[in-house]
Structure 1
Amino acid sequence: MTIPFFDGHNDTLLRLLEHANADKVALFVEGTQDGHVDLPRARAAGMVGGFYAMFPPPLKGNLASVATNPMSNGELPPELSNADATPSTMGMAAILLRLEQAGALTICRSAADIRNAIAIEKHAAIFHIEGAEAIDTNFHAFDVLYAAGLRSIGITWSRANAFGTGVPFRHNADPDIGPGLSDAGKELVRLCDKHGVMIDLSHLNAAGFRDVAAISTKPLVATHSNVHAISPGTRNLVDWQLAAIRDSGGVVGLNYATGFLREDGKFDADTPIELMVRHVDALLEALGEDGVALGSDFDGARIPNAIGDVRGTQNLLRALLDKGYGETLVKKIALGNWLKLIERTIG
């Protein structure tokens, strides 16, 4: 049995962008030998869609270096200017738009759009920005990106910007590092609420998380984060954050990155699926059956060998079934909880 699933986070657009001289549409549609996600593998895997992130990478290094060794010094990476972030963000947005024009996927602006895409077997994509550096503090770019389909924003990646501060990649540390949102960041939260743009808390520090929780009237969401009590790194959620997400009716997507799964924080692909199941157990205990989903971080992280690529998600879902989770619950974690959350945040 193949269980359909919707993925809370991938960096596939950046991987395609980094194929500088290639036909990005053809790479996605026909399939590639590298990375984790393309259309043939997604279809084979039962992946009906997901949040397609536009992550403006650091000026030095590439996605591979960030994905496999993000905790090299435990400090915040340098800030990225609006001028430096805009070309890569626009490049990834253009790839997503071209994929839609080629008929490879549908950019979905609502839960109804996702359901309609699934019904006609069209891959469903949510236009997501991870790190809002390409948005100016006058919000002109926000208006343009929203018109193009933007429906989800991670205010920060793990660095500071004009809106807030992300967490550095540190192990044996918690996310209570650095200041809260700037005035522009608080205005961005209000703007997102007004327009039905989901706010992703995954890389935001604790003070920024508190600010979003105080301002936003929508459910709190961390699309690709895990449980700090199991893997005590800054990218994972501590008890009070999980409680705030639960109380808001929000959702956490399980991150497959091995460094955010393991107790030792190592980015070691020899990480068993049983550890992923342990995080799901803890998330269910903290959030309830409506609060847990998938947020793989495909194409942006070192993932367990037992997963391998997008097709390995079925191995995780089978492990949940084998653990004794009923089929109804596994289907909620795989797809249903994202659909209901998107309905309440985006529309």
Structure 2
Amino acid sequence: MQKVFDGHNDVLFRLWRRGREGFDPVSEFIDGSPTGHIDLPRSKAGGFAGGFCAIYIPSDDLRFAPPGPDGTYDTPLPKPLERAPSLDIAMEYMSIAARLERAGGWRICCSTREIEDAIKADAFAAVLHMEGCEAIGADLAALDVFYAAGLRSLGPVWSRTNIFGHGVPFSFPKSPDTGPGLTDAGKELVKACNRLGILVDLSHITEKGFWDVAGITDQPLVATHSNPHSLVPVARNLTDKQLAAIRESNGIVGLNFAVTMLRTDGRESADTPISDMVRHIDYLVDKLGIDGVAIGSDFDGALVPGEISDAAGMHKLVAGLRSAGYADTELDKICRGNWLRILRSAWHEQG
């Protein structure tokens, strides 16, 4: 079975919520759970070998706008979050990640060698990612601490505003050019990530923010979980101009499984065929080349196609790509190899 290393999931968010509901997040992951998309049994069943596991602080005031008669919607950005409670929640996520590693549920990986070793050992390879940096102050002192604890990837913003920059709303149809880009603090954050060897993710940021990062970073441009705007014009998707810049930097885009980002009508319906996912992969390969396309499922953070359902169904996407004509060497790149290439660069590894 083809092993898939994923560019984005929210399993830590789900486990954190389950912990607050009185369940043990460690056993939820290791023993399996009827909720969500990812746990160890389902991951093994589907060849889901691990991925970027997000530290995401939820917005209590997020209210998704209902679609109008023509299917359009425009969700307002939630208000900015306060630093102290965000840091507390981020530490709870980090605690779950550490407890899972101690219990043998997964391995926290800080190098591509560790990822490769985990996959060979049939262990879940977890890369800690921060989705929106509300837990980090402008002095960036917390960034050093999170890095020491294993953080190796971050997106400066989620779909809201913080001290580092501005995010795009969940809106359809809409351009990603929805507001300002990075703040001065955000520019310093990107520079610090370059120095430390932390991947910078461009998912959720405004188009102006995208170009701000492109003008500063020494890394390839990366969108861990986004799709082509030309196919589905939601604000979260990437324009052809952005895709061209990603290709020029030898960067990468991970296919997002969220149905609202896959369907031409932008609707939230699990009745979304795998052929829609293949169509997006085909488009990305055409714009980026085979070396610039990967998987960024958004499992446990979005409604995904019913044919996939959860991590156990990952092999169905691989089968769909193979049926569409992708060779095993190309599938190796899309499923794992391209992420390893990008991480070697972002993490300052040799070879």
What's the TM-score, normalizing by structure 2?
0.95
Structure 1 position 113 matched with structure 2 position 114: yes
Partner of 1:275: 276
Spell out, residue by residue over 1:124-169, the C-alpha distance to the aligned partner (whole angstroms, 9 max, x if none): 1100000000001111111110000000001110000000000011
Partner of 2:5: 6
What residue identity is the alignment partner of 1:198? Answer: L
Q: Which runs of 5+ in 1 are unaligned?
A: none
Partner of 2:310: 309
SS of structure 2 residue aligned to 1:290: helix
1:167-182 aligned within 5 A: 167-182=168-183
Partner of 1:286: 287
Once the two structures are TM-superposed, the CA of residue 72 in structure 1 deviates from its matched residue by 6.2
Structure 1 position 327 matched with structure 2 position 310: no
Instruction: Tell me how far apart the structure 2 counterparts of residues 324 and 165 of structure 1 sit (CA, whole Å).
Output: 39
Q: Is this contact kept in 1: 2:129–2:154, CA < 8 A?
A: yes
Spell out, residue by residue over 1:95-127, the C-alpha distance to the aligned partner (whole angstroms, 9 max, x if none): 011111111111111111111212222211100
Partner of 2:253: 252
Spell out, residue by residue over 1:153-198, the C-alpha distance to the aligned partner (whole angstroms, 9 max, x if none): 0111000000000001111111011111111100000000000000
Structure 1 position 237 matched with structure 2 position 238: yes
Spell out, residue by residue over 1:237-279, the C-alpha distance to the aligned partner (whole angstroms, 9 max, x if none): 0011001110001110000000000111111110111011000
Spell out, residue by residue over 1:8-38, the C-alpha distance to the aligned partner (whole angstroms, 9 max, x if none): 1110111111111111111110000010000
SS of structure 2 residue aligned to 1:100: helix
Partner of 1:26: 27
Q: Is this contact kept in 1: 2:74–2:172, CA < 8 A?
A: no
Partner of 2:14: 15
Spell out, residue by residue over 1:195-241, the C-alpha distance to the aligned partner (whole angstroms, 9 max, x if none): 00000001010111001000001101000000101100100000110
Spell out, residue by residue over 1:275-322, the C-alpha distance to the aligned partner (whole angstroms, 9 max, x if none): 110000000000001000000000000001011001111111101110
Once the two structures are TM-superposed, the CA of residue 59 in structure 1 deviates from its matched residue by 2.4
CA RMSD of aligned residues (A): 1.6
Farther off after superposition, 77-86 or 8-17: 77-86
1:210-225 aligned within 5 A: 210-225=211-226
What residue identity is the alignment partner of 2:249? Answer: S
What residue identity is the alignment partner of 1:144? Answer: V
Q: Which runs of 5+ in 2 are unaligned?
A: none
What residue identity is the alignment partner of 1:105? Answer: W
1:35-46 aligned within 5 A: 35-46=36-47
Partner of 1:126: 127
Q: Is this contact kept in 1: 2:90–2:135, CA < 8 A?
A: yes
Instruction: Tell me how far apart the structure 2 counterparts of residues 167 and 115 of structure 1 sit (CA, whole Å).
Output: 34
What residue identity is the alignment partner of 2:300? Answer: D
Q: Is this contact kept in 1: 2:73–2:172, CA < 8 A?
A: no
Structure 1 position 83 matched with structure 2 position 84: yes
Instruction: Tell me how far apart the structure 2 counterparts of residues 301 and 222 of structure 1 sit (CA, whole Å).
Output: 17
Structure 1 position 146 matched with structure 2 position 177: no
Instruction: Tell me how far apart the structure 2 counterparts of residues 279 and 120 of structure 1 sit (CA, whole Å).
Output: 32
1:196-215 aligned within 5 A: 196-215=197-216
What's the TM-score, normalizing by structure 1?
0.96
Instruction: Tell me how far apart the structure 1 counterparts of residues 74 and 168 of structure 2 sit (CA, whole Å).
Output: 13
Once the two structures are TM-superposed, the CA of residue 341 in structure 1 deviates from its matched residue by 1.0
Instruction: Tell me how far apart the structure 1 counterparts of residues 295 and 120 of structure 2 sit (CA, whole Å).
Output: 21
What residue identity is the alignment partner of 1:5? Answer: V
Farther off after superposition, 328-337 or 159-168: 328-337
Partner of 1:189: 190
Moved over 6 A (4+): none
Q: Is this contact kept in 1: 2:74–2:169, CA < 8 A?
A: no
Instruction: Tell me how far apart the structure 1 counterparts of residues 29 and 229 of structure 2 sit (CA, whole Å).
Output: 34
User: Share of identical aligned residues, percent?
Assistant: 49
SS of structure 1 residue aligned to 2:60: coil
